[in-house]
């Protein structure tokens, strides 16, 4: 066994393995970093477990640290978010829709649905091929509630798409 040049005792007590390792790391920081990186590359699953456990124990402090970094580096944060959004566009849209749906859960009972569905198209008055439409679209933050539902014929509903009623009417006036 080689001699690392490190003391073997603290006073008259022998050093523990942890204390010897700590002192060696302090004395050889670059080599310690290389050894740690090598270990992480050889054992990626173990590293993930360690990181997950750390974040689970320190969730509040890690969230606070992330928020502080984000506030100090707004441009970097925005650029990272943009790249991430375009890289995982479908996942991101789905994640946002799920989050919105969990935040706002409304129940539309059959009686209200029948009352709304008995009306003609809210724009042109047609009774043919009617669709249930959200006045403020779900994609724009609208609720699935009685006050946000109306009937539109298929033609009006498809041209309205994800526009709010006022936007859609302005769009129709410009088009005409």
pLDDT digits (tens, 9 = 90+) for 37-64: 999 999 999 999 999 999 999 999 999 9
Helices 29-42 and 17-27 sit at what angle, rounded to 10 degrees?
Answer: 120
Percentage of the chain exceeding pLDDT 90: 52
Residue 136 lies in a domain: yes
pLDDT tens series, the chain, 176 aa: 455 555 666 666 788 888 889 999 999 999 999 999 999 999 999 999 999 999 999 999 999 999 999 999 999 999 998 898 888 888 888 777 777 666 666 678 888 888 999 999 999 999 999 999 999 888 887 888 888 899 999 999 999 988 998 999 999 898 87
Distance CA(71)–CA(65), nearest Å, equals: 10
Residue 122 CB neighbour total at 10 angstroms: 18
Q: DSSP label at 153?
A: E
Domain that holds residue 148: 110-175
Q: Percent of the chain, pLDDT > 70?
A: 89
> Which H or E run contains 132?
strand 130-134
What are residue 57's DSSP bridge partners? none
Angle formed by the axes of helices 74-87 and 59-72, nearest 10° = 110
Question: For residue 60, is it within any domain?
Answer: yes
Q: Are 137 and 156 in contact (CB under 8 A)?
A: no
The helix (run of H) or strand (run of E) holding residue 41 is helix 29-42
- 8 in any annotated domain: no
Q: Taking a C-beta distance cutoff of 8 angstroms, is the pair 61, 41 a contact?
A: no
Q: Output the six-digit token pair for 171.
A: 């769009």
Within-domain flag for 13: no
What is the Cα–Cα distance from 42 to 114, expressed in whole angstroms?
Answer: 63
Say how many domains are in the chain: 2
Shared-domain flag, residues 117 and 171: yes
What confidence score (pLDDT) does residue 102 get?
Answer: 62
pLDDT in tens, 97-116: 777 666 666 678 888 888 99
For residue 153, what are the CA distances in angstroms to 15, 51, 109, 132, 175?
A: 82, 54, 22, 9, 19
Together in a domain, 69 and 22: yes
In a domain, 90, yes or no: no
CATH (domain of 153): 1.10.30.50
Name the domain boundary from 73, 95, 118: 73
Pair of tokens at residue 175: 């088009």
In the chain, the largest separation of any two C-alpha atoms, in whole Å, equals 96
């Amino acid at each position: 066994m080689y001699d690392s040049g490190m003391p073997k005792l603290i006073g008259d007590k022998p050093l523990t393995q942890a204390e010897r390792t700590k002192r060696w790391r302090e004395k050889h920081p670059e080599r310690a970093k290389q050894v740690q990186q090598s270990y992480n590359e050889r054992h990626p699953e173990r590293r993930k477990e360690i990181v997950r456990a750390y974040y689970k124990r320190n969730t509040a402090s890690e969230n606070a640290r992330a928020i502080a970094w984000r506030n100090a580096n707004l441009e970097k944060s925005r650029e990272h978010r943009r790249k991430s959004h375009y890289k995982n566009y479908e996942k991101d849209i789905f994640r946002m829709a799920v989050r919105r749906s969990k935040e706002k859960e409304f129940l539309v009972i059959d009686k209200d649905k029948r009352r709304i569905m008995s009306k003609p198209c809210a724009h042109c008055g047609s009774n043919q091929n009617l669709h249930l439409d959200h006045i403020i679209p779900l994609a724009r933050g609208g609720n699935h509630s009685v006050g946000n539902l109306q009937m539109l014929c298929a033609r009006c509903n498809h041209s309205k798409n994800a526009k709010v009623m006022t936007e859609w009417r302005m769009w129709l006036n410009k088009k005409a």
